[in-house]
Structure 1
Amino acid sequence: MKLINKSILTAIITLSTASVYYAQQVQDTVTKSKDIDEVILRGVTDIAKDRKTPVAVSNIKAAQIVERLGNQELPELLNTTPSVFATKAGGGFGDSGIVIRGFESRNIAVMVNGMPVNDMETGTVYTSNWTGLSDVTSAIQVQRGLGSSKLAIASVGGTINYITRSADMKQGGVIRLGVGNNDYLKTSFAYNTGKSQDGWSSSFLMSRQAGSTYAENTQYESYAYFFALGFQPNKKHNLQFMMTSAPQWHDQRYTSNSLGDYFKYNPKQDGTPFREYNSDFGYYTDANGRKVAVSNKANYYAKPVIMLNWDWTISDKSTLSTVAYMSNGRGGGLSDVGKVGNKFASGYIDTTPGTGGHINYDQIFAANGAVDVNAPTAATGGTLIRRSSVNAHNWYGILMNFQHKINDNWNFSVGTDDRYYYGYHYMVASDLYGAKGYKDASNKNLTAPNIISNTYDYKKLTWNPFGGSQPPMSDRLSFSNDGEVLWYSGFGQVEYSTEKLTVYAQGSVSNQGFQRIDNFIVDGSTAANGQINNTKTGFKNIFGYNVKGGANYNINEHHNVFANLGYYSKQPFMNSVYPSNQQFLNPSLTNEKISSFEVGYGFRSAKFNASVNLYRTEWKDRWLRKNMNFELPAGTLAGYAEISGITEVHQGFEFEGNYKPFKFLEFNGMFSLGDYHYVGNATGATFDNNNNPIAVPGTDKNSTTLYLDGIKVGGTNFNSIPQMTSALGFTAIPVQDLRIYGTWRHVGKVYGSMDAGTFTKPGGEILKLKDFDLFDIGISYKVRLKDPKQYFTIGGNVYNLFDLNYISDAGGNYIKPTDAPTNLQDGKPNTQKLTYEQLGYMYKGVAYGNKVFFGAPRTWAATLSFNF
Structure 2
Amino acid sequence: MRNMKKWLLTAFFFLSITTVFAQGKISGIIQDNNGALPGANVVIEGTSTGTSTSFDGSFTLNSTSSKGNVVVSFLGFTSKTIPFTIVDGQADLGTIVLSDEGNVLGEVVITSTIIDVAKDRKTPVAVSTIKAAEIREKLGNQEFPEMLANTPSVYATKSGGGFGDSRINIRGFDQRNIAVMVNGMPVNDMENSAVYWSNWAGLSDVTSAMQVQRGLGSSKLAISSVGGTINVITRTSDMKQGGSFTATLGNNDYIKTVGSYSTGKMKNGLSASVLLGNAQGSMYADGTQFSAQNYFIGLGYEINEKHNLQFTFTGAPQWHHQRSFANHLGSYIKFGDPVNNEPNIKYNSDWGLYKGEEFSWARNFYHKPVMSLNYDFKINDKTKISSVFYGSWGRGGGTGSIGTSPFRYKTAGGTVPFDDFAAFNRGQYVAANDQIVYGGNLPGTQVAPNAQGQYITNRSLGFTRRASINSHDWYGAVINFNRKLTDKLTLDFGLDGRTYTGYHFRNVNDRLGADGYQANLATTSGGIYLANDVNNPTRTLYETYSASPSFNPFTNVKDQEKIEYNNNGYVRWYGAFTQLEYSTEKLSAFIQGSVSQQGFSREDLFQYKNDDPLQKTDFENYLGGNIKGGLNYNIDEKMNVFANAGYYSKQPNFQAIYRNNKSIAFDNDNEKILGFEVGYGYKSNIFNANFNAYYTSWKDRYQRTSDPDPNNRNGYFEAFGVDEIHKGVELELNVKPFSGLTINGMASYGDWYYNGQSDYQKFDQNNAFLTEGKLLLDKVKVGDVSQFNYSIGANWQIIKGIKVDANYRYSDNLFASIEPGRFSEENTNIKGTLELPSYGLVDAGLSFKIHRTKDSKDSFNFRINVNNLLDKVYIAESRTNQFVASQSEFDGNTGDGKGILQNGSIVASGNLKSATPGEGQYATYQDYLNRGTWNGVDLRNQVFFGFGRTWNLTFRYEF
TM-score strictly above 0.5: yes
Q: Give the equivalent residue in structure 1 for 2:590.
A: 504
Question: Distance between the aligned counterparts of 1:34 and 1:688, measured in 2?
Answer: 53
Is 1:769 aligned to residue 845 of structure 2?
no
Q: Give the equivalent residue in structure 2 for 1:13.
A: none
The structure 1 residue matched to 2:627, chosen from 540, 547, 551, is: 547
Question: What is the deviation of 1:756?
Answer: 3.5
Q: What TM-score comes out, normalization by structure 1 length?
A: 0.88
Q: Secondary structure at 2:487's aligned position in 1?
A: coil
Equivalent pair of 2:158/2:165 in contact (CA under 8 Å):
yes
How is 1:395-406 mapped onto 2 (pairs within 5 angstroms)? 395-406=474-485
Is 1:753 aligned to residue 817 of structure 2?
yes
The structure 2 residue matched to 1:60, chosen from 95, 111, 130, is: 130
Is 1:132 aligned to residue 202 of structure 2?
yes
Residues 334 and 642 from structure 1, CA distance in 2 versus in 1: closer, same or farther, beyond 3 angstroms? closer
Q: Secondary structure at 1:803's aligned position in 2?
A: coil
Q: Secondary structure at 2:818's aligned position in 1?
A: coil
Is 1:614 aligned to residue 702 of structure 2?
no
The structure 1 residue matched to 2:774, chosen from 686, 705, 723, is: 705
Equivalent pair of 2:719/2:761 in contact (CA under 8 Å):
yes
Provide Cα deviations, 1:156-204, integer angstroms capped at 9, x if missing partner.
0000011001111000110111111111111111111011111111111
The structure 2 residue matched to 1:516, chosen from 602, 606, 610, is: 602
Write the letter of the residue equivalent to 2:868.
N
Equivalent pair of 1:28/1:63 in contact (CA under 8 Å):
no
How is 1:188-199 mapped onto 2 (pairs within 5 angstroms)? 188-199=258-269
Write the letter of the residue equivalent to 2:859.
Y
Provide Cα deviations, 1:269-288, integer angstroms capped at 9, x if missing partner.
6542111111001123x4xx
The structure 2 residue matched to 1:676, chosen from 747, 752, 767, is: 752
Equivalent pair of 1:707/1:760 in contact (CA under 8 Å):
yes
Q: Give the equivalent residue in structure 2 for 1:233.
A: 303
Write the letter of the residue equivalent to 1:326.
G
Residues 151 and 451 from structure 1, CA distance in 2 versus in 1: closer, same or farther, beyond 3 angstroms? same
Provide Cα deviations, 1:345-396, integer angstroms capped at 9, x if missing partner.
211112x4xxx21111232112211214757998654222011101100000
Q: Give the equivalent residue in structure 1 for 2:360.
A: 295
How is 1:467-616 mapped onto 2 (pairs within 5 angstroms)? 467-470=554-557, 472=559, 475-523=561-609, 532-586=612-666, 588-616=667-695
Question: What is the deviation of 1:495?
Answer: 1.1
For structure 1, which segment, 268-277 or 72-81, has the greater mean C-alpha deviation from structure 2 after superposition? 268-277
Q: Give the equivalent residue in structure 2 for 1:76.
A: 146
The structure 2 residue matched to 1:648, chosen from 715, 724, 728, is: 724
Q: Secondary structure at 1:733's aligned position in 2?
A: strand
Q: Secondary structure at 2:643's aligned position in 1?
A: strand
Question: What is the deviation of 1:415?
Answer: 0.3
How is 1:349-388 mapped onto 2 (pairs within 5 angstroms)? 349-350=410-411, 352=412, 356-370=413-427, 371-372=447-448, 381-388=460-467
For structure 1, which segment, 259-268 or 311-320, has the greater mean C-alpha deviation from structure 2 after superposition? 259-268
Equivalent pair of 2:516/2:540 in contact (CA under 8 Å):
yes
Question: What is the deviation of 1:704?
Answer: 2.8
Question: Distance between the aligned counterparts of 1:172 and 1:34, measured in 2?
Answer: 16
Provide Cα deviations, 1:814-861, integer angstroms capped at 9, x if missing partner.
343446563456994656676683453211110111011111110000
Question: Distance between the aligned counterparts of 1:102 and 1:179, measured in 2?
Answer: 34
Equivalent pair of 1:411/1:494 in contact (CA under 8 Å):
yes
Question: Distance between the aligned counterparts of 1:581 and 1:34, measured in 2?
Answer: 50
Write the letter of the residue equivalent to 2:900.
T
Question: What is the deviation of 1:765?
Answer: 1.9
Is 1:721 aligned to residue 809 of structure 2?
no
Q: Give the equivalent residue in structure 1 for 2:900.
A: 822
Provide Cα deviations, 1:456-512, integer angstroms capped at 9, x if missing partner.
2213x23621x2222635x21100110000000000001111110011100100000
Is 1:457 aligned to residue 457 of structure 2?
no
Is 1:304 aligned to residue 391 of structure 2?
no
For structure 1, which segment, 781-790 or 727-736, has the greater mean C-alpha deviation from structure 2 after superposition? 781-790
Q: Give the equivalent residue in structure 1 for 2:16.
A: none
Say how many residue pairs are matched: 801
Equivalent pair of 1:41/1:163 in contact (CA under 8 Å):
no
The structure 2 residue matched to 1:851, chosen from 936, 942, 945, is: 942
Question: Distance between the aligned counterparts of 1:497 and 1:138, measured in 2?
Answer: 27
Residues 492 and 830 from structure 1, CA distance in 2 versus in 1: closer, same or farther, beyond 3 angstroms? closer
Write the letter of the residue equivalent to 1:551.
L
Residues 399 and 862 from structure 1, CA distance in 2 versus in 1: closer, same or farther, beyond 3 angstroms? same
Residues 611 and 37 from structure 1, CA distance in 2 versus in 1: closer, same or farther, beyond 3 angstroms? farther
Could you tell me the percent identity over the aligned residues? 45
Structure with bigger RCO (C-alpha 8 Å, 6+ apart): 1
Question: Distance between the aligned counterparts of 2:766 and 2:418, measured in 1?
Answer: 39
Q: Secondary structure at 1:472's aligned position in 2?
A: coil
Question: Distance between the aligned counterparts of 1:689 and 1:178, measured in 2?
Answer: 41
Over the aligned positions, Cα root-mean-square deviation in angstroms equals 2.8
Q: Give the equivalent residue in structure 1 for 2:244.
A: 174
Write the letter of the residue equivalent to 1:464.
N
Provide Cα deviations, 1:26-58, integer angstroms capped at 9, x if missing partner.
967776989999534323110000000000000
Q: Give the equivalent residue in structure 2 for 1:791.
A: 859
Write the letter of the residue equivalent to 1:228.
G
Q: Give the equivalent residue in structure 2 for 1:322.
A: 387
Question: What is the deviation of 1:862?
Answer: 0.6
Is 1:95 aligned to residue 165 of structure 2?
yes
How is 1:252-291 mapped onto 2 (pairs within 5 angstroms)? 252-266=322-336, 271-284=341-354, 286=355, 291=356
Equivalent pair of 1:168/1:201 in contact (CA under 8 Å):
yes
Q: Give the equivalent residue in structure 1 for 2:956.
A: 865
Q: Secondary structure at 2:748's aligned position in 1?
A: strand
Q: Give the equivalent residue in structure 1 for 2:277.
A: 207
Provide Cα deviations, 1:211-235, integer angstroms capped at 9, x if missing partner.
1011101111110100100000111
Residues 335 and 834 from structure 1, CA distance in 2 versus in 1: closer, same or farther, beyond 3 angstroms? farther
The structure 1 residue matched to 2:214, chosen from 128, 131, 144, is: 144
Equivalent pair of 1:282/1:294 in contact (CA under 8 Å):
yes
Q: Give the equivalent residue in structure 2 for 1:5.
A: none
Q: Give the equivalent residue in structure 1 for 2:494.
A: 415
Q: Secondary structure at 1:837's aligned position in 2?
A: helix
Question: Distance between the aligned counterparts of 1:626 and 1:743, measured in 2?
Answer: 34
Question: What is the deviation of 1:741?
Answer: 0.5
Question: Distance between the aligned counterparts of 1:32 and 1:327, measured in 2?
Answer: 37
Residues 375 and 127 from structure 1, CA distance in 2 versus in 1: closer, same or farther, beyond 3 angstroms? farther
Q: Secondary structure at 2:421's aligned position in 1?
A: helix
Question: Distance between the aligned counterparts of 1:867 and 1:115, measured in 2?
Answer: 30
Provide Cα deviations, 1:125-166, integer angstroms capped at 9, x if missing partner.
001000101100000000000000000101000000110011
Q: Give the equivalent residue in structure 1 for 2:94.
A: none
Provide Cα deviations, 1:604-640, integer angstroms capped at 9, x if missing partner.
111000000000000000114689999xxxxxxxx99
Q: Give the equivalent residue in structure 1 for 2:35.
A: none
Question: What is the deviation of 1:646?
Answer: 1.4
Residues 321 and 830 from structure 1, CA distance in 2 versus in 1: closer, same or farther, beyond 3 angstroms? closer
Question: Distance between the aligned counterparts of 1:170 and 1:37, measured in 2?
Answer: 8
Question: What is the deviation of 1:334?
Answer: 0.9
Q: Secondary structure at 1:346's aligned position in 2?
A: coil
Question: What is the deviation of 1:84?
Answer: 0.6
Question: What is the deviation of 1:559?
Answer: 0.8
Question: Distance between the aligned counterparts of 2:869 and 2:461, measured in 1?
Answer: 49
> Structure 1 regions of 5+ residues with no counterpart?
1-25, 526-531, 631-638, 698-702, 715-719
Write the letter of the residue equivalent to 1:367.
F
The structure number with the bigger radius of gyration is 2
